């Protein structure tokens, strides 16, 4: 009977690991979706801010014109 008790405690571990892996997958998926939105809407403003802080100090219209 001692073997039965050991077997029962071992069976719960894979289910717990699967649940933990599912939580990690959901969390990473949620994080990547949020990061995609942040990068999508934040890239151009970041480039403008970096350009405004560069050495020659261009005007805003000079940064936005294609020439």
Q: Model-level pTM? A: 0.52
| Residue 5, pLDDT score | 53
**DSSP state for residue 54 in the 8-state scheme:** S
What mean pLDDT is reported for the chain?
Answer: 82
Q: What is the arithmetic mean of pLDDT over 20-39?
A: 95
**DSSP state for residue 67 in the 8-state scheme:** -
Furthest-apart CA atoms within the chain: distance in Å: 83
Separation between Cα atoms, residue 31 and residue 51, nearest integer Å: 29
The SS3 assignment for 48 reads helix
């Amino acid at each position: 009977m001692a073997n039965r008790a050991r077997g029962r405690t071992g069976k719960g571990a894979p289910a717990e690991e699967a649940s933990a892996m599912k939580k990690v997958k959901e969390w990473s998926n949620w994080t990547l979706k949020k990061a995609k939105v942040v990068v999508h809407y934040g890239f151009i403003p970041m480039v403008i801010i970096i350009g405004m802080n560069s050495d020659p100090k261009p005007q805003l219209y000079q940064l936005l014109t294609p020439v």
